[in-house]
Amino acid sequence: MPSKLKDIKNSPALVVSLDIRNKLANDIIVVPLSTTLRPAPTHVSLPEGEGGLSKASMTKCEQVTMIDKSLLIRGPFAGKISNEKMKEIEKAIMIAIGVI
């Protein structure tokens, strides 16, 4: 764990928590993104342009986590992904937590 907030690296992530939860809670549920494309059952590829991404990326759904909203920075990649991709991500999260 970083000892200070300044030690935390800014990394892109996809918000997967419900909009209503995001409005009411102090934290959000995210999966991190990576430009290192390593196929796995818990990874979903996002092509360049999807959700405003400037590079092809991959969700790492095995690392689903919560972050405090105060740490959230809306970056240049802020956008929405397609419903089709979101369904793939939901399935990958279920695989990661052992539901399927």
Q: pLDDT (tens digit, 9 = 90+) per residue, 76-91?
A: 557 889 999 999 999 9
Q: What is the mean pLDDT of the chain?
A: 89
User: With respect to CATH, is domain 13-97 assigned 2.40.50.700?
Assistant: no
The H or E element spanning position 24 is helix 19-24
Domain boundaries, the chain: 13-97
CA angle 98, 12, 15 (to 5 degrees): 55
d(CA 22, CA 61): 19
- Which residue, 82, 99, 33, 100, is CA-closest to 61? 33
Burial of 84 (0-12, 13-18, 19+ CB in 10 A): exposed
Q: pLDDT (tens digit, 9 = 90+) per residue, 30-56?
A: 999 999 999 999 999 999 999 888 899
